[in-house]
Amino acid sequence: MTLTLLVDPTVCPDREPGLQPWTPGHSEAHHVTIGYGRKVILTSSATVHSIEILNGGKLVIADSYRPILLRTKHILIGNRGQLHIGSPDCPYKGNLTISLFGRSDDTDTEHSYFGRKYIGVGTGGTLEIHGEKKLSWTFLNKTLHPGESEDNSYLFERGWGNRGIIVHVIDPKTGEVLHNDRFDTYRSKEESRRLAQYVDVVDNGMILAMMVNDEGSNNLEDSGILKPILYYTLRPQASISIVHLSNSTVLELAEPAEGWGPGDRLVLASTDYSMHQAEEFTILPCPACGPTQVKVQGKPVFLHMGEEVDGVDMRAEVGLLSRNILVRGEMEPGCYGNEACKFFAFDTFGGHVKRGFKSVHVSGVELQHMGQQSMGHYPVHFHMNGDVDQKGGYDPPTSVSDLSIHHTFSRCVTVHGSNGLLVKDVVGYDALGHCFFTEDGPEERNTFDHCLGLMIRAGTLLPSDRDSKMCRDITQGAFPGYVANPRQDCSATSTFWIANPNNNLINCAAAGSEETGFWFLFHHVPTGASEGMYSPGRSEHTPMGQFTNNRAHSNYRAGMILDNGVKTTQANDKDKRPFLSLVGARYGPHQDADPFKPRVPALIHHFVAYKNQDHGAWLRGGDVCGGTFPDDDGSRQEVKNSLFVGESENRGMPIPDNRIWGPGGPDLNGRTLPRGVDFPIRGMQIYDGPINVQNCTFRKYIALDGRHTSAFGFRLNNSWQSCPNNNVTDITFDDVPITSRVFFGEPGPWFNKMQMDGDKTTIFHDVDGSVSEYPGAFLVKEDNWLLRHPDCIDVPDWRAAICSGHYAQIYIQTRNPASLNMQMVKDEYPDRPLTLEGALGKKKHYQQFQPVVTLGKGYTVHWDQAAPAEITVWLINFNRLVVDSETHTHTHTHTEKQRERLHRLHRLVVEAERHTQTHTHTCTLHHTHYSLPSPSIVSASDPKNCPHHGTTSYESTITPVTQSPIS
């Protein structure tokens, strides 16, 4: 006889043997401690002051058919304490609400680490919460038009009796009703046939408005006419459907709405420039709906796209806000008694969940009114947990998934000093401050997979969270007397704030923030509690994690930024800005984050950005490219295999008091605009460099009277450089007239006076002629006579000239003083000088000028006062060739010595002796293709170096070499 014992591995937590029923009742003064091996199960609603679980204590919430409400000020899970609500294999199916109550000014003792109004998991604690599995978010699969707009509705004013179908034929241009009729299809089959004949003779292009009055389908169905009218396309662009008039809307979704049901709340993202066009809906019962349909209460106020538009997927995201487990903060009716009340009229002291744990897995939970406008108190907070994946001994790895975090007062998910966390299928909506937030800089290997963030507003915690008013008004941390510059120091609220590039973002959507969707920035050294965790500069060289299939839209500043850092020192008299203010930084990823090892590219795959008011993406640093490894050991950025659309068929809609509405697109119809009716729309904004743009398509860039629009343009009001190695190739134009391919700018609105250095020196290389139709040509600003020559071809519509030649960029640094203006003149055009003010502020201790010059030509530099005491010159961004000194044959196989020579800084320093009276204010440059054996210092007062009084010649120190395609 054989006895087989079957053990169910999916025993639900509330079925565990030995659990003792717990019914604490309702008393806000009742302090509860569960410890010393006690294991209890809560089976009904309760109110207590607090719950502490420690020393082997265990609390399980019963999966009851009756809703359970647990009210408490806090739940503390201490060492060897456990809280279980469902499990991964046995998700909680009932309805549970944990309501955290209390005020910031309560008189009871505040926990030194967790604070107030929290679920806290201490060291050695276990938190397992698992609600029902539901689809977290998906896409709208059919465009949803506004339901009550006067421009999109028609009123049937005449009475037509009790039954039948009422038809009006309307001229779409004038709105005039050309004909109307009623068909009593309920009583008469002949009327059904007459309706079919009537529809068949309506002229193409007319609007056919049909309304069912009470009943209309009886004899339509009997005659077999209803089905063709409902589903048959009568014209190539006209189909008819009959719907009931009701205050509801059916949403067509991209995938089955798993787990969604009547009473659930949804949020529908904006698909226009303003994030405030997001709308909330409640699901209604709909027996007739298919798996990918849901009926919701009410009509949409705004247009929400549900389709691909001009090759760009612009479908609105649809996020689920409701879950069967709700953790919420109980809120006061208005703001009270703290600094946040200067900026918010509502109470911002919500609940929070903070973890420092043995094991945490949370899924299927809704968090509402969570977070506080104080440091360390966020809806979901992993605080200094180190490695929380297999590397740290966690199996399965720590995760939060299927969360709905909405109407929160401080972020959505914060990862602080923690690595390897999985954040998946999380919706963050209507939050203050950065939503998905990595804090100190050393956070690595964390994965954000299929997360959605939208309606992300400014908060007060960090300078980067703050809007302009907060930035100016909050002076804590700044040096006394410092007046903040909001656009430089603050104003960076982002949906995804990534402080270390070695994190993964996959299938995520940033669908509306006050500033930016995805922002990668750098901590030169780790900050806060993570201080000392890596060596200075490591994060700037750390290779980028996986960034794949993400999208960003409806953001005020940009869809994505890869640039900048934060100030890692406290305010002082030399740098008065507050700690963690935005500063400049440069990203250059290298193998193992070691700048002496080979570069590695930062790869951005399948990124979609649309309807962002300033930039789709701002990327700056090392080798950033769109899908291939650049075979180059220098620093450049590449955009490949990409589509740029200027003005798509997603026109948006006019709303009251919206001044950013005007004509646009090929048809000049009204549409929403990013800034104003005269704001210049540019597809690829060339700035700095070197940049390679390859195999890209530009669609629908059409200039209008009073508004410049171009596929290629340049940064507005640019004081910085323009690189002659900015290369474009394999460019395709679709619905872009040749006059709108390029625009170099002209004085006027948005461009201002065009007197900044970068405005004057713009240039790019049309490698294959796909832009200018002249292969190998350079496009230069029409009035830049440092680059022009007699064979250049003027293109007035572009404010440019098409030129041939070989060009290089010069960096000229000056010291003592650094406040001079420089005038540069090409020998061939002595009456056509170019005046530059310098790329840096006049208060810097040195100044930098960055003109582009023609190789093999002579130039003279003049100063508006006596020449600087020291001038340093670099020649960069030009083509070079290594010539074998013995065979004089071209080679691309470099020895280490040749590589060292190729990469050596090509620099010439000129030092001028200062005299009581000096008239030295010019230098003559005779540049050829060159290599410079070593940095040279030449005294400007040495007669053999200054053959003419007041000039300096650099020619004697330069050794010519042959041109090369290697850069």
- DSSP run (H or E) holding 229: helix 226-231
Residue 586 confidence (pLDDT) above 50: yes
Averaged over 99-103, what is the pLDDT?
Answer: 98
Instruction: Please give the residue that has the higher pLDDT: either 2 or 956.
Output: 2
Using pLDDT thresholds of 50, 70 and 90, give the confidence band for residue 842: confident
Sign for the pseudo-dihedral over CA of 942, 945, 949, 950 = negative
pLDDT, position 214: 54
Using pLDDT thresholds of 50, 70 and 90, give the confidence band for residue 67: very high
DSSP 768: S
Residue 909 confidence (pLDDT) above 70: no
pLDDT, position 494: 99
- Rounded CA-CA distance 967/965 in Å is 6
User: Could you read off the pLDDT of 193-209 as tens digits, one per residue?
Assistant: 888 888 888 888 888 88
pLDDT, position 882: 31
pLDDT, position 689: 79
Residue 148 confidence (pLDDT) above 60: no
Q: From residue 907, give the alpha-carbon distance in Å to each of 806, 871, 875, 932.
A: 20, 10, 7, 7
Using pLDDT thresholds of 50, 70 and 90, give the confidence band for residue 622: low
- Rounded CA-CA distance 385/358 in Å is 10
Instruction: Please give the residue that has the higher pLDDT: either 578 or 155.
Output: 578
Averaged over 280-290, what is the pLDDT?
Answer: 96
Report which of 860, 877, 870 is spatially closest to residue 923, judged by C-alpha positions.
860
Averaged over 374-395, what is the pLDDT?
Answer: 94
Report which of 715, 538, 540 is spatially closest to residue 614, judged by C-alpha positions.
715
Averaged over 208-224, what is the pLDDT?
Answer: 59
- DSSP run (H or E) holding 222: helix 218-223
Instruction: Please give the residue that has the higher pLDDT: either 926 or 234.
Output: 926
pLDDT, position 172: 74
- Rounded CA-CA distance 739/747 in Å is 18
- Rounded CA-CA distance 738/797 in Å is 9
What is the residue whose two structure tokens read 């008091």? 657
Averaged over 657-672, what is the pLDDT?
Answer: 86
- Lowest average pLDDT, out of 96-100, 190-194, 848-852, goes to 190-194
Q: Assess contact for 547 and 505: CB atoms under 8 A.
A: yes
* Token reading at 250: 């059916």
Report CA Rg, the chain: 33
Percent share of the chain, pLDDT over 90:
69
Phi, psi of 616 (to 5 degrees): -70, -45
- The pTM for the full model equals 0.82
Contacts of 83 (CB under 8 A, 6+ apart): 53, 58, 59, 60, 75, 77, 119, 126, 127, 128, 129
Strand partners, 380: 413
Average pLDDT across the chain, whole number: 85
Q: From residue 21, give the alpha-carbon distance in Å to each of 11, 18, 24, 263, 497.
A: 18, 10, 10, 31, 44
Residue 823 confidence (pLDDT) above 70: yes
pLDDT, position 337: 87
pLDDT, position 33: 98
Report which of 474, 469, 465 is spatially closest to residue 432, judged by C-alpha positions.
465
- Listed in sequence order, the DSSP H helices in 250-392 are none
Q: Percent helix, strand and coil across the chain, each rounded to 5?
A: 10, 35, 55
User: Could you read off the pLDDT of 36-66 as tens digits, one per residue?
Assistant: 999 999 999 999 999 999 999 999 999 999 9
Q: What is the secondary structure of 795-841 as a DSSP string?
A: EGGGTEEEE-S-EEEEEEEEESS----EEEEETT-TT--EEE--SS-
Contacts of 100 (CB under 8 A, 6+ apart): 72, 73, 74, 117, 118, 119, 327, 328, 329, 330, 350, 351
Residue 216 confidence (pLDDT) above 80: no
Q: From residue 298, give the alpha-carbon distance in Å to each of 36, 136, 544.
A: 53, 22, 44
Q: Assess contact for 30 and 24: CB atoms under 8 A.
A: yes
Using pLDDT thresholds of 50, 70 and 90, give the confidence band for residue 176: confident
Q: From residue 930, give the alpha-carbon distance in Å to each of 111, 645, 742, 763, 777.
A: 69, 42, 32, 22, 22
Using pLDDT thresholds of 50, 70 and 90, give the confidence band for residue 161: low
- Rounded CA-CA distance 218/186 in Å is 5
- Lowest average pLDDT, out of 194-198, 359-363, 655-659, 776-780, goes to 655-659
- Largest separation between any pair of C-alpha atoms in the chain: 117
Range with top average pLDDT, 72-86, 596-610, 843-857, 934-948: 72-86
Residue 869 has a CB neighbour count (10 Å cut-off) of 15
Using pLDDT thresholds of 50, 70 and 90, give the confidence band for residue 69: very high
Strand partners, 661: 672
Residue 437 confidence (pLDDT) above 50: yes
Region class of 585: left (phi > 0), else alpha (psi between -120 and 50), else beta: beta
Contacts of 212 (CB under 8 A, 6+ apart): 165, 242, 244, 245
Three-state DSSP class for residue 639: strand
Residue type, 594: D
What is the residue whose two structure tokens read 């740029």? 644
Q: Assess contact for 336 and 355: CB atoms under 8 A.
A: no
Sign for the pseudo-dihedral over CA of 342, 343, 347, 350 = negative
pLDDT, position 12: 95
pLDDT, position 922: 52
Residue 7 confidence (pLDDT) above 60: no
Averaged over 339-354, what is the pLDDT?
Answer: 95
- Lowest average pLDDT, out of 154-158, 211-215, 690-694, goes to 154-158
User: Could you read off the pLDDT of 550-565 as tens digits, one per residue?
Assistant: 999 999 999 999 999 9
- Rounded CA-CA distance 910/182 in Å is 92
Residue 154 confidence (pLDDT) above 60: no
User: Could you read off the pLDDT of 603-613 as tens digits, one per residue?
Assistant: 899 999 999 99
Using pLDDT thresholds of 50, 70 and 90, give the confidence band for residue 263: very high
Using pLDDT thresholds of 50, 70 and 90, give the confidence band for residue 944: very low
Q: Where are the domains of the chain?
A: 1-132+329-363, 163-250, 378-469+489-624, 641-805, 808-960
User: Could you read off the pLDDT of 450-505 as tens digits, one per residue?
Assistant: 999 999 999 999 999 999 999 999 999 999 999 999 999 999 999 999 999 999 99
- Lowest average pLDDT, out of 20-29, 74-83, 671-680, goes to 671-680
Report which of 206, 295, 303 is spatially closest to residue 243, judged by C-alpha positions.
295
pLDDT, position 632: 33
Helix count and strand count (H, E) for the chain: 8, 71
Averaged over 908-924, what is the pLDDT?
Answer: 49
- Rounded CA-CA distance 730/734 in Å is 13
Residue 902 confidence (pLDDT) above 50: no
pLDDT, position 9: 52
Q: Assess contact for 710 and 741: CB atoms under 8 A.
A: yes
Contacts of 545 (CB under 8 A, 6+ apart): 445, 501, 502, 503, 504, 505
pLDDT, position 195: 84
Peptide bond into 817 cis (omega under 30): yes
Residue 262 confidence (pLDDT) above 90: yes
The alpha carbon of residue 383 and the mean position of all alpha carbons in its chain are separated, in whole angstroms, by 25
Residue 70 confidence (pLDDT) above 70: yes
pLDDT, position 174: 66
Angle at 143 between CA 141 and CA 144, to 5 degrees: 115
Q: Assess contact for 704 and 664: CB atoms under 8 A.
A: yes
- Rounded CA-CA distance 70/81 in Å is 18
Averaged over 847-862, what is the pLDDT?
Answer: 92
Residue 757 burial (CB < 10 Å; 0-12/13-18/19+)? buried
pLDDT, position 188: 73
pLDDT, position 857: 92
pLDDT, position 197: 84
pLDDT, position 928: 35
Using pLDDT thresholds of 50, 70 and 90, give the confidence band for residue 250: very high
Instruction: Please give the residue that has the higher pLDDT: either 621 or 393.
Output: 393
Strand partners, 852: 809
